[in-house]
């Protein structure tokens, strides 16, 4: 049995080493998107069924609008760079959920949740675009899979494509922690600093192509930083905000605007 699992894994490894179109780096995805996405979609639907989804309010419409703009930016960027296929299995969805946690996430395949608690921090459409661009970037760069341990990946690799895997609450929990789903601050595993940096940089490009001022990302993380203190919000457990990070984002703004210019975007919404 163990031999079989190893064989499956080796096969996956051979075929799953892909070049990240945003970084040009080779990233090893042990489980291909075509197999992991059905699990992601199932978890997303379950999350929505257990939470209060808000529809048709001004805020809910804004979440959908910004989400569409960010996903369109990702599509334009990837198509222009010869990676149109990258989003083939994505099924974008953007939902606002009633929950006071300062939180947002994007699962593989473009399944996004924004919590109402983050809106006072994002403040504007551009602030929301900074958050959504960043979370989408984690999904595009496959950071979730890279957060899993070797053992977890082995388990997932061995059953890839088998949705029944998700019937086991332990497997669900593992999957959700890897992708930042849910709200138990105690079990949330932080993204590594390099993943945060990568998501900041990619997210900045996405928001700029979508027509939002990348400077608003700096303002957003400044506000996040101020929220730190005694009871840091949910999102800071996985996305620690500090001055180095904010300085890095500042230094990438000209590049993000230059990328946007390639798509004819020269004015940016605050």
The residue ranges that bind Zn ion (CB under 5 A) are 191, 196, 199, 239
The backbone torsions φ and ψ at residue 58, rounded to the nearest 5 degrees and listed phi first, read -60, -45
Of residues 125 and 196, the one with the C-beta less far from Zn ion: 196
Q: How far apart are CA 152 and CA 167, in angstroms?
A: 16
Least distance in Å: CB of 180 to Zn ion?
8
Residues with a catalytic annotation lie at 135
Of residues 196 and 216, the one with the C-beta less far from Zn ion: 196
Least distance in Å: CB of 86 to Zn ion?
20
Structure tokens at 66: 């910004």
Q: Are 68 and 195 spatial neighbours (Cβ–Cβ below 8 Å)?
A: no
Q: Are 260 and 208 spatial neighbours (Cβ–Cβ below 8 Å)?
A: yes
Least distance in Å: CB of 235 to Zn ion?
8
Of residues 196 and 259, the one with the C-beta less far from Zn ion: 196
Least distance in Å: CB of 134 to Zn ion?
6
Strand boundaries in the chain, DSSP class E: 17-19, 26-28, 53-54, 93-97, 104-107, 111-115
Q: How far apart are CA 65 and CA 68, in angstroms?
A: 5
Q: What residue is closest to Zn ion based on CB?
A: 239
Contacts of 125 (CB under 8 A, 6+ apart): 62, 65, 66, 212, 269
- Count of CB atoms situated within 10 Å of the CB of 47: 19
Of residues 31 and 224, the one with the C-beta less far from Zn ion: 224
């Amino acid at each position: 049995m163990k031999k079989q699992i190893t064989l499956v894994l080796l096969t996956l490894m051979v075929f799953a080493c892909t070049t990240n179109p945003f970084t040009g780096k080779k990233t090893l995805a042990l489980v291909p998107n075509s197999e992991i996405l059905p699990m992601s979609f199932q978890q997303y639907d379950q999350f929505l069924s257990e939470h209060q989804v808000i529809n048709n309010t001004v805020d809910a419409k804004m979440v959908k609008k910004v989400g569409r703009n960010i996903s369109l930016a990702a599509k334009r960027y990837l198509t222009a760079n010869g990676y149109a296929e990258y989003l083939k299995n994505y099924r974008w969805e953007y939902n606002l959920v009633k929950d006071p946690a300062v939180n947002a996430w994007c699962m593989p395949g473009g399944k996004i949740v924004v919590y109402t608690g983050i809106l006072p921090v994002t403040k504007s459409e551009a602030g929301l675009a900074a958050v959504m661009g960043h979370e989408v970037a984690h999904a595009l760069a496959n950071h979730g899979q890279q957060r899993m341990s070797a053992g977890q990946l082995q388990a997932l690799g061995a059953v890839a494509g088998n949705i029944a895997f998700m019937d086991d609450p332990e497997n669900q929990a593992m999957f959700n922690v890897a992708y930042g789903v849910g709200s138990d601050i105690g079990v949330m595993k932080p993204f590594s600093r390099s993943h945060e940096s990568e998501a900041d940089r990619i997210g900045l490009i996405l928001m700029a192509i979508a027509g939002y001022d990348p400077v608003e990302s700096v303002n957003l993380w400044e506000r996040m930083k101020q929220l730190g203190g005694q009871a840091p919000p949910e999102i800071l457990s996985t996305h620690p905000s500090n001055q180095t990070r904010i300085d890095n984002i500042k230094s990438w703004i000209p590049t993000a605007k230059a990328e946007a210019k390639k798509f004819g975007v020269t004015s940016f919404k605050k």
